Amino acid sequence: MKAISFIKKHAMVVLAGAAIIGFSSFKVIELNKQNKDTDLIFTYVPPAGSPAPYSDTNVKNTSNWQRSTSDCSASTEQEVACSIAVPATSTMNGGNNIDPSKVTIETFQHSTNNYGVSPSSAATPQYNDPLNRPLEP
């Protein structure tokens, strides 16, 4: 009898709590979708005249990454840096440049002075979808 009385008294509170949890879950799904939609593509542009255009220093330099409308294809030969997707919140100048205070590009060595871009190892990835391309002779 006490259980039924308790349920009757607190039914509205339980329903309100369930409604809040239900609506919050839709909000989380929407935020995740929005974050993915706001990633901007940047492609690597080797510095002109550099004796080692794909050196570790050059690939990690955010000023060598240029805003693009498309990413590189997922080639089987993942040798040197090509493109990354950066959250719009980690860019500057209207999304045209990567903000070096928010993004640290990580690399792997393919061969002497030839580096590709690695996935971000940060707890919250600083960039997504790192793609590399074959090293042309």
Q: Is the torsion defined by CA of 123, 127, 133, 137 positive or negative?
A: negative
Task: Measure the CA–CA gap between 88 and 95, rounded to whole angstroms.
Answer: 6
3-state secondary structure labels for all residues of 24-54: HHHHHHHHHHHHHHCEEEEEECCCCCCCCCE
Residues 56 and 25 in one domain: no
- At 111 the pLDDT is 93
The yes-or-no verdict on residue 101 having pLDDT over 80 is yes
Residues 115 and 57 in one domain: yes
Q: Which is nearest to 78 in space by CA: 100, 54, 95?
A: 54
pTM value surpassing 0.85:
no
Higher per-residue pLDDT: 99 or 8: 99
Q: Tell me the average pLDDT of the chain.
A: 84
Residues 45 and 78 in one domain: yes
Higher per-residue pLDDT: 73 or 20: 73
Residues 28 and 12 in one domain: yes
Residues 46 and 1 in one domain: no
Residues 74 and 129 in one domain: yes
Give residue-wise pLDDT tens across range 28-66: 455 444 455 589 999 999 999 999 999 999 999 999 999
Residues 115 and 97 in one domain: yes
Task: Measure the CA–CA gap between 104 and 130, rounded to whole angstroms.
Answer: 13
The yes-or-no verdict on residue 23 having pLDDT over 50 is yes
Total domains in the fold of the chain: 2
Structural domain boundaries, residue 26: 1-37
